[in-house]
Structures are given as C-alpha cells and as structure tokens.
Amino acid sequence: MHRLFVDNLTVIDFAFLDPDRGLVGESWIVDVELAGELDHQGMVFDFSLVKKRIKRLIDEQADHRLLVPQDFSGLTVQQHNDQGSALTWRTRQGDKIEHRSPADSVLFTPGSQLDEASLARQLEQALASVLPANVDAVSLTLRPEVIQGPWYHYVHGLKKHDGNCQRIAHGHRSRLLIERNGVRADDLEQQWADRFQDIYIATREDLLEQFHEDGCQYHHYGYHSDQGEFALTIAAHRVHLIDTDSTVEWIADHLLKQCQNADPGAQFRVRAFEGVGKGALADSA
C-alpha cells in the first residue's frame, strides 16, 4: 500500500448554521491523503488530477454554500428540491434564521452541529465517485488557518458577482491588520474583530423589510441574481449594515472610514482579509 498527500489543496469558504452562534462564516484549509496501489505510471494518483478532479469536487460540494446540520431540533425544512431550498433555523437563544435560495446553495450535513471531522467524512464519501480503481482510500483533513492576532467570522452575499459569491449566505474566517500612523493598532484590530465576530455584513439596498416578532427585531434581505432568487431573514443584532456592496474592498474601505471618523488626525492602513491569503488594502489619502 502506497500513500500520496497534498497539503493546502484548497480552501473552502462557506457559512454554516450553529445552534448557539447562529449564522457563521468559516474558512477551512483542505489537506488530502490517498492510499492505494501504484498504477502503470508508478503513481497512486497523478498530482495534476488531484488538483483538478478532487479539488473541483470538494469546491462544488462545500465551497460558497450554506452548510446545515440536518439533525438539529431547531431546523425546519419547508422545501429542498430542484425548485429551490427554504428552511428555518431556530437558535437556542430563541431567534430565527430563514434562508431561501436555489437548492445548490445549500448542503445538509449529518449531526446536530457542524465540525471538521464530520464534514471531512461526508466529502470523502462523495470523492469515491471520482477516484480510479487503484485508490483504496481517501482521507481529508479540514483545518482553520493559524492566525496570530485578531480574527473574525463573517457572512455576506454579493448579488452582482458572476460566480458563487452571489449566494446570499456564504462566509469567511478572516484576519485583520490595522496600522495607525505606521504602527500596528492592536486596540482597533481587537475592537473590530469583536464587533464582527459571527456577523452578517449586509448591504443596505438589499434590506427589504424590518419587523418585530416575539420581542426580537429582524431584518429581511433579498435579491435576484444570475443564479436565482435569494432571501435571508435574520435578527438585527446579528447584522452589521453598510451602504455599499459587501466585497472585501468595500469592507476595507468601510473600516478605514470608521477609523478615520474616530481619529481624524491620524493616518490609517487597513488590511482586511477574505478567508485565507487574500483580501484588500485601504489607506488614508
């Protein structure tokens, strides 16, 4: 038996529903290990095919989707078929999250709470269909990036995006670097990381309705994009509303303006990440 490994094969950026935290953005790095006999090339599996075939399936299954633990008692599924998906998630705090979208924007996962190991097993089972006969086993490791300093989880949707970012509930786990007058501003980084922890960053023009129900204020968002109709209802305290689209470029710009408004005499640089190893810069003029 021979084994092949590929570290950092891909990063899946997604959102998931949690019984306590509500709607959460996440980014997990994916490592893969394959075990089997050598083929006629003397390989378990060609590295180029690992990167193409396995990465593609993992991305299609989980990247930029809303992952929903199917066994949580607070979940009600009204619809999930070719015509679309509609569900309600009631957190243990009592507030609800309603999500409506095309069906391929959602992945149901086993259990009542999402974790790296259970999702890895689900993806390993899906990979069986794309592996050659000489490969006997595939093992995935899903892991968060090791971050020194503040970081936060956020969810958003980009209706103008050409690809899967248009899905109204996908997200990221992201670093944040802020400099004030050329010096790292640890206080501001922590302040914004705390404020954005488990947040939905929403665009004002997508806000269709505000209402109260059972003592809780809710926001209802919705839009039509190339992939179809999207809608999200979420408690107002889980939202940070901005006046622009919620691209990482606009998020960095928003953070810069907030820092400048609080300290007009200082010069700032904001380095906002979108998941692992990518993001946007914004500087004081």
pLDDT tens digit sequence for 207-259: 999 999 999 999 999 999 999 999 999 999 999 999 999 999 999 999 999 99
240, with CB counted inside 10 A (0-12, 13-18, 19+), is middle
In this structure, the chain runs to a length of 285
Domain for residue 250, yes or no?
no
Structural domains in the chain (count): 1
Q: Which domain holds residue 88?
A: 2-173+205-238
**CATH number assigned to the domain comprising residue 32:** 3.30.479.10
How many other C-beta atoms are found inside a 10 Å radius of the C-beta of residue 206? 20
What's the pLDDT score for residue 41?
77
What's the pLDDT score for residue 278?
97
In sequence order, which ranges of 109-202 are alpha helices (DSSP H)? 116-127, 186-195
What confidence tier does 53 reach under pLDDT thresholds 50, 70, 90? confident
Domain for residue 209, yes or no?
yes
Percent of the chain predicted with pLDDT > 70: 99
pTM: 0.95
Query: What is the rounded average pLDDT for all residues in the chain?
Result: 95
Domain for residue 154, yes or no?
yes
Domain for residue 267, yes or no?
no
Domain for residue 146, yes or no?
yes
Q: Above 90 in pLDDT, residue 3?
A: no
What's the pLDDT score for residue 44?
66
Domain for residue 186, yes or no?
no
pLDDT tens digit sequence for 177-200: 999 999 999 999 999 999 999 999
Nearest CA-CA partner of 191 in 267, 270, 137: 270
Nearby residues of 178 by Cβ (< 8 Å), 6 or more positions away: 184, 185, 188, 189, 192, 255, 259, 268, 269, 270, 271
- With H, G, I as helix, E, B as strand and everything else as coil, classify residue 119: helix
Chain position carrying tokens 């710009």 = 253
178, with CB counted inside 10 A (0-12, 13-18, 19+), is buried
Contact 70, 113 (CB under 8 A): no
Domain for residue 19, yes or no?
yes
Domain for residue 247, yes or no?
no
What's the pLDDT score for residue 132?
81
